[in-house]
Structure 1
Amino acid sequence: MTLAERIQQHWRTPTAVSLALTPFSLVYGLVTKIRKAAYISGVLKTHRFDIPVVVVGNLTVGGTGKTPFVITLAERLKIRGWRPGIVSRGYRGKVTEAEIVPADGDPHHFGDEPVLVARKTGLPVAVARRRAQSVEKLLNESVDIVISDDGLQHYAMARSAEIVMVDGIEGLGNGFLLPAGPLREPPARLASADIRVRRGGEASEGEYSVTAALGSARNLVSGEEASLDEFRDVPLAALAGIHRPERFFDLLRQHGLTITAHPFPDHHQFCADDIPAETTVLMTEKDAVKCGRFASDRCWSVSQVTEIPEELIDKLESVIHQTGQVNLSA
């Protein structure tokens, strides 16, 4: 276990270790305040655009289901007549200048999540180290709205609306800033978000609740689709290189499946040796984009279905129509 992993074990509730790290959190908090003030005052440049930019982010380190939410949000906006494009940092990818992600793109180059989004939506997806460059790239793709997968703290990119996601189980952890806790910004930052979303658990007042469930399975070689019910009473291996992989395993068990769990770190770069031999293997869609080149016909990806209430889409369109750009000083 790495030092970072040991520290993260103390992020759920205040402990002696997290309290000992609070002086470093105070320094981190001061730096983030100065940085944000520099954007508000114009010392650092904020790039503005002629089309709406919607940021889907979170206050905590780690996954809160942003990417599945972004996929569903983009699909729903398309149904309502919008022409969405998506931007991403391309975590652990190799892209520097802005590039459009093809549906068959290499996840090692573009990052696993942008490739997944491109494949699932069929919409333009742009990746760059600087998100503002990605937005500029999408302007050449005839989009009329941009969704940023993460980037809440990327104040160089102006936004028309902010959607902040909170994990229904972990919440905001112990409430401390990095490194004593999981927070990138103070809890009070939630108040300035246009839309607050709770993924799982019970939504608080002013929040929208979204749920995540497993869909069908798809064979990585043949493309055949099958219901998860067809895998009951069959010994299975399940692998997941995501934040909190046990959630994927729990959902499979709730479907009545008998699995042997194989957890990996988030964004793990899979190789053929990671795939369990001589058994049927179920994996997340995010992991499947990295396993396709060496997968056998024993490998299946399991889709995740995110349900977004219509009221949330209505609220988002209202914010877009009423405001130009979010006031960073709010």
Structure 2
Amino acid sequence: MRLIEKVWFQGHPAKWLIVPLLLPLTVLFAVLSFFRRLAYQVGLFKQIKMSVPVVVVGNIGIGGNGKTPVTLYLVEKLTEQGIKVGVVSRGYGSKAPHYPYQVTDESTSEQAGDEPLLIFQRSAVPIVIGADRIQACQRLIELGCELIIADDGLQHYRLARDFEFVVVDGKRLFGNGLLLPAGPLRETRSRITRANCVIVNGLSSWPKQANACALPVLTMQLKASQVINVKSGANIELDTFLTQSLANNKRINALAGIGDPQRFFNTLELVGFNLVKVKGFVDHQAFSAHDLQQFPSDIPLLMTEKDAVKCADFAQDNYWYLPVDAEFSTNTDGESIARVMTKITALVNIHH
């Protein structure tokens, strides 16, 4: 984990030096963000309304909060209802030949970005990336999409939206509560109250506080049931994989290039693996074969699905990844993902 992230989320002693130095930039960022939002609210900047419903999945901070599993869940459930869904994404770190760019079977992680390629490989729905979300959405509409999910589009105010999900990391929450760069937040916590639904990833006491703002609050867990070989694509049930690794005392190596690598490592330990060597990389790390040479080949190397799409071209036989799915629980007040999905489905019916 980078030092600045330790300052943001763990209260590292360096905060007494770093935060005061960055506070003037944070004040400037806050002022610019405020007037930018205000410009859209008063109509100085124009919001563009698409001809189909747009559902935003985002967060108010940086780093991995679980947005991609939420997007995949929405795509799966809406597709099951016969709705043609498309996904629009910025495509962070992508180097596509042109924009907007439609992700295809031939796309590489370098062209499409890791998360868009992951979503496409898992869902096979149309995915279009580009900094101009309006053009990207228009392309999806031309492809016949009846509903668009904007992955990580909460702060892209030019794109009008019909429904907003804000995903919150139940463990890290909002770090030190400050805006960038002194803290990890892109918007203040009050922004959450203007969303339609909050999803808390992992067990947390925070939902009780969120209920005070009368928002639907859902609790989500990330569930893993199988491991997949990066090189061959072979699937093995997680319990079977654990049993097979008993001869090696369940010893594995692990890497993660996500917003919170430690969350992945904790998951592996909870499953029952004995972690020998672990390495956390920065989010969206562009892996090379050299990066993975530090891991011996005599025991399995486990990684996240997002990492696997970037390691496929040089994968070894011992490279495996652990796909996860969003699993929602009904809250004590009776709020459930089914009720929220009914509201989203209604948006499509209204447009029809």
Shared fold (TM-score greater than 0.5)?
yes
The within-5 A match list for 1:156-195 is 156-195=158-197
Deviation at 1:316, TM superposition (A): 4.5
Deviation at 1:271, TM superposition (A): 1.0
2:60 alignment partner AA: L
Distance 2:348 2:38 in 1: 21
- Measure how far apart 1:317 and its partner are: 3.7
Structure 1 position 19, deviation (Å): 4.5
Letter in 2 for 1:291: C
Seen in structure 2, the aligned counterparts of structure 1 residues 151 and 322 have a Cα distance that, compared at 3 Å, is closer
Q: Name which of 7, 11, 14 aligns with 2:8.
A: 11
Measured after TM superposition, the shift of residue 180 of structure 1 is 1.6
Q: Name the SS of the counterpart of 2:125 in structure 1.
A: coil
CA RMSD of aligned residues (A): 2.2
Which residue, out of 275, 278, 281, partners 1:261? 278
Instruction: Give me the whole-angstrom Cα distance separating, in 2, the residues matched to 1:265 and 1:30.
Output: 28
Alignment of 1:22-101 (within 5 A): 22-95=23-96, 96-101=98-103
Other-structure match for 1:307? 327
Corresponding residue for 2:220? 210
Letter in 2 for 1:250: N
Between 1:130-139 and 1:50-59, the stretch displaced more is 130-139
1:220 to 222, 230, 247: 230
Q: Do 2:200 and 2:219's aligned partners in 1 also have CA atoms closer than 8 Å?
A: yes
Contact 1:99 1:137 in 2 (8 A): no
Q: Distance in 1 between matches of 2:179 and 2:345?
A: 30
Q: Give the AA of the match of 1:48.
A: K
**Bigger mean CA offset, 41-50 vs 133-142:** 41-50
Residue 127 of structure 1, CA deviation: 0.5
Task: Choose 93-102 or 14-23, whichever is displaced more.
Answer: 14-23
Equivalent residue in structure 1 for 2:254, among 238, 253, 276: 238
Matching residue within 88, 104, 107 for 1:102: 104
TM-score, structure 1 normalization: 0.91
Q: Secondary structure at the match of 2:323?
A: strand
CA displacement 1:234-286 (0-9 Å, x = unmatched): 33211111111111111111111122212211111111122223232111111
Distance in 1, Cα, partners of 2:238 & 2:322: 8
SS in 1 for 2:313: coil
C-alpha separation in 2, matches of 1:73 and 1:323: 14
Q: Distance in 2 between matches of 1:176 and 1:273?
A: 37
Work out the percentage of aligned pairs sharing the same amino acid.
35
Following the alignment from structure 1 to structure 2, what is the Cα–Cα distance between the partners of residues 76 and 50? 22
2:317 paired residue number = 297
Q: What SS is found at the alignment partner of 2:8? A: coil
Unaligned runs of 5+ in 2: 331-335
Q: Determine the C-alpha separation between the residues in 1 that align with 2:274 and 2:3.
A: 30
| 8 A Cα contact 1:112 1:286, kept in partner | yes
CA contact (8 A) 1:160 1:323 kept: no
Structure 1 residue 313: Cα displacement:
4.2
What code does the residue aligned with 1:258 have?
Answer: N
Moved more, 296-305 or 83-92: 296-305
Tell me the residue number matched to 2:333: none
Q: Quickly say closer, same or farther: Cα 1:286–1:198, change in 2 above 3 A.
A: same
1:91-130 pair list within 5 angstroms: 91-95=92-96, 96-130=98-132
Aligned AA (2:24): P
CA distance in 1, matches of 2:142, 2:325: 30
Q: CA offsets, 1:189-248, max 9 Å, x none?
A: 111100011111233324110111222111122221112232433332111111111111
CA distance in 2 between partners of 1:300 and 1:278 (Å):
12
Q: What TM-score, normalized to structure 2?
A: 0.85
Write the deviation string for residues 40-95 of structure 1: whole angstroms up to 9, x where unpaired: 23322322111100000000111101011111111011122321111111110013
Q: What letter corresponds to residue 55 of structure 1 in structure 2?
A: V
- Alignment check: 8 A CA contact 2:53 2:347 kept: no
The one-letter amino acid of 2:288's match is C
Q: Are 2:52 and 2:348, in contact at CA under 8 Å, matched by a contact in 1?
A: no
Q: Is the 8 A contact 1:104 1:119 kept in 2?
A: no
1:245-284, aligned counterparts within 5 Å? 245-259=261-275, 260-275=277-292, 276-279=295-298, 280-284=300-304
CA pair 119-104 structure 1, distance change in 2 beyond 3 A: farther
1:122-160 deviations in Å (ceiling 9; x for gaps): 111110111111111101221110001101000011100
